[in-house]
Amino acid sequence: MSRTKWSSALEVWSPEYDGSGVKDLIEIRIKPDRLDENDLNALEAWADVLATNNSLSALQATEDLCQFIASYYPENERTTQRLYFAYKSAKNSEQRARECGDSFAQIIRSWLIKDPVQFASLTWATQFTDVFPLHEKEALITEAIEKQPRESQDQKGSGSARRRNGAYYYLMGTVFYTASDYFQAAKNFEQACARSPKESVYYNYLGISHFNQKQFKNAKENYEAAVRFDRDRAIYHSNLALALRELKMWPQAVIECDKAIEKEPENPYHKKIKATVFNAEGNDFYNKGDYPASLKDYEKAVELDRKTAMYHANLAVGLAGLKEWQRAIAAVEKIKEFGLDNVLYTQRLALIYNTRGNDYYEKKEYGASLKDYEKAVELDSKTTVYQANLALGLAGLKDWQRAIEAVEKIKDLEPDNVLYTQRLAGIYNTRGNDYYEKKDYAASLKDYEKAIKLDPKTNVYQTNLAVALSGLKEWQRAIEAVEKIKDLEPDNVLYTQRLALIYNTRGNDYYDKKDYAASIKDYEKAIELDSKTTVYHANLAGAFVTWEKLKGLEPQGEALNKALSALRKALELDPENGKYREGIEVLENLKTTEVRNLR
């Protein structure tokens, strides 16, 4: 067909919206020697029309038309992109996807071999890797490298040759990058940078690959190189800010964000990155307990990006850290107001109420704490710690049965959660303490035993059990209970303190029974275990004096001397105690007619 006849045919031909008629054009046996620019523009315009129709016939027609254009212009960017999108759209048909993918691959292969530098420079070039499995991607680029003309001795090391190879390694890096193999991606990007040491985009991708491996120092160094070779690319400054953020280099990160914003003031992305920097710094301050500083950063993050729910949520947590409860609740309400994240809204509001409940609980305002714990559970009934705290609030009010029922909810939510047994043991221990204070030692003993059965490794339960047994004057069992503490933690000072208390209590019992010799032995054991508790020395002194009186002897013998020594030790430990000082004066002046009761 002559050039004139082809042009005339093209002028009168027009495809239908669904692509019918394209085949008529494609199947012309005699094609022109070339397509001029007007022909190309006309065909591309028709391809654009077909691309608006998602029907299978239109997709087929788009592919056919693109292949026809590619037979004349294999490195045409628009045509290659259309084939790529046609391939993506055809994925619901395995055969069509394969056919379209083959056509696309053929064009990419040709383009790679002819001009890899140009191809690598295309902003969408990395998308081509979607078409191929990983091993085919590697093979394709390797094939392109191997098909390059051999360099002469004079060409070796030349800038253009090194740039070509740098482009290939860059493309190989993108292959692994899109497959999320950041280690292999980094290796290839390193090779690209070595061969093209001034290509900022290569350093940027190398930085991204290191960043995704959490190698933030390496990421920072490569982002800095990208910035050094191209200071006008705002994204490089933002990426550098991200690396600095992870390294907790907050002021430098903010400076890089400001540079990115200065270069692209209308691009909201850079302000969002700056918001992440302030939010991260706020988290760091919060974790250090510096709530005022964290609050300032959270406020800056919200100011920069009001539509990120997490910043409002963190602002609320910062306010809660300062115990500004009403402002904290108002900050959480912003999440709901913006319609950002209803799940986060309820979760964070529940957390605020739980935290305020803890504050009330520490102040022993159990009624107020209970109300807040109930609100937390109402908002987020599946968080076990809220159920556990609700149980504590109820225990604080001595509402034992409801407290136990609240703990049982933990078991319903998470049967294997250790918090269930720990908190239930805590409830029984607390109730045991209540019974003990009422001198109902038998009831307290039962609860302490239940606590130990649930949580045998908590020492305080063993010590409380020993105290209850002492209350029942079951001395041997009390001592055995204390010995369990030593088995659990040999160096725990609680062991000696509680054992000393048992001996002192038994000494008091012997004293009340007028068995002063036995009481003296127990007081001496108590002092041997815990020599810094004044009452043990005072009790020992009183026992010696009473024993001396009963024997009818003058208070000049060994017993009196021991009593004086014990009482002096008590005064040394408690020098403000006038009772001890008076007792010492009485004994020293040998006023034996009526020895005071020193106990």
> At 50, which amino acid appears?
L
Q: In the prediction, which pLDDT does 51 show? A: 60
Same domain, 177 and 103: no
> Does the pLDDT value for residue 135 go beyond 80?
no
> Does the pLDDT value for residue 196 go beyond 80?
yes
Which residue, 170, 187, 217, sits at the end of a domain?
217
* C-beta of residue 213 within 8 angstroms of C-beta of residue 186: yes
Say if 62 falls within a structural domain: yes
Same domain, 107 and 1: yes
Whole-number Å distance between alpha carbons of 439 and 530: 25
Same domain, 54 and 93: yes
Spatial CA neighbour of 587 closest among 550, 562, 551, 552: 562
What average pLDDT score do residues 85-91 get? 55
Q: Which of 27-41, 167-181, 494-508, 562-576 is least confident?
A: 27-41
> Does the pLDDT value for residue 208 go beyond 70?
yes
Say if 169 falls within a structural domain: yes
Q: In the prediction, which pLDDT does 189 show? A: 94
What average pLDDT score do residues 255-264 get? 97
* C-beta of residue 221 within 8 angstroms of C-beta of residue 209: no
pLDDT digits (tens, 9 = 90+) for 93-125: 555 555 555 666 666 666 666 666 556 555 545
Whole-number Å distance between alpha carbons of 406 and 124: 57
- What does the chain come to in residues? 599
The separation between CA 123 and the C-alpha centre of its own chain, rounded to angstroms, equals: 34
Which residue, 176, 200, 217, sits at the end of a domain?
217
Whole-number Å distance between alpha carbons of 200 and 388: 55
**Mind spelling out the 3-state secondary structure of 109-159?**
HHHHHHCHHHHHHCCCHHHHHHHCCHHHHHHHHHHHHHCCCCCCCCCCCCH
> Does the pLDDT value for residue 162 go beyond 60?
no
Average pLDDT value over all residues in the chain: 81
> Does the pLDDT value for residue 71 go beyond 80?
no
Same domain, 68 and 126: no
Q: In the prediction, which pLDDT does 337 show? A: 78
Q: In the prediction, which pLDDT does 178 show? A: 74
Q: In the prediction, which pLDDT does 10 show? A: 46
Residue 594 banded pLDDT, cuts 50, 70, 90 = very low
Q: In the prediction, which pLDDT does 416 show? A: 79
Q: How many CB atoms lie within 10 A of CB 501?
A: 22
Same domain, 88 and 66: yes
Task: Report helix angle 250-263 to 268-287, nearest 10.
Answer: 170
Say if 597 falls within a structural domain: no
Same domain, 39 and 121: no
**Residues sharing a CB contact under 8 Å with residue 542, sequence separation 6 or more, in sequence order:** 511, 563, 597, 598, 599
Same domain, 95 and 4: yes
Q: In the prediction, which pLDDT does 141 show? A: 67
> Does the pLDDT value for residue 293 go beyond 80?
yes
Say if 91 falls within a structural domain: yes
Spatial CA neighbour of 313 closest among 334, 287, 297: 334
What average pLDDT score do residues 16-45 get? 60
The more confidently predicted of residues 152 and 211 is 211
> Does the pLDDT value for residue 224 go beyond 90?
yes
Instruction: State the first-to-last Cα distance of the chain, in angstroms, to the nearest integer.
Output: 127
Say if 419 falls within a structural domain: no
* C-beta of residue 235 within 8 angstroms of C-beta of residue 268: no
> Does the pLDDT value for residue 42 go beyond 80?
no
Same domain, 107 and 4: yes
Q: In the prediction, which pLDDT does 596 show? A: 42
Q: In the prediction, which pLDDT does 154 show? A: 47
The pTM for the full model equals 0.60
Helix-, strand-, coil-residue percentages of the chain, each rounded to 5: 75, 0, 25
Residue 500 banded pLDDT, cuts 50, 70, 90 = very high
Counting the structural domains of the chain, the total is: 2
Q: In the prediction, which pLDDT does 599 show? A: 47
Same domain, 99 and 35: yes
pLDDT digits (tens, 9 = 90+) for 317-337: 999 999 999 999 999 888 887
Say if 183 falls within a structural domain: yes
Same domain, 79 and 131: no
> Does the pLDDT value for residue 28 go beyond 90?
no
The CATH number given to whatever domain includes residue 203 is 1.25.40
Using a pLDDT cut of 90, give the percent of the chain over it: 47
Say if 530 falls within a structural domain: no
Same domain, 122 and 106: no
Q: How many CB atoms lie within 10 A of CB 404?
A: 17
Residue 412 banded pLDDT, cuts 50, 70, 90 = confident
Residue 146 banded pLDDT, cuts 50, 70, 90 = low
Say if 203 falls within a structural domain: yes
Same domain, 123 and 170: yes
Q: In the prediction, which pLDDT does 513 show? A: 92
DSSP 527-550: HHH-TT-HHHHHHHHHHHHHHHHH
Q: How many CB atoms lie within 10 A of CB 258?
A: 14
Range of the domain at 133: 116-147+158-217
What average pLDDT score do residues 463-482 get? 92
Residue 558 banded pLDDT, cuts 50, 70, 90 = confident
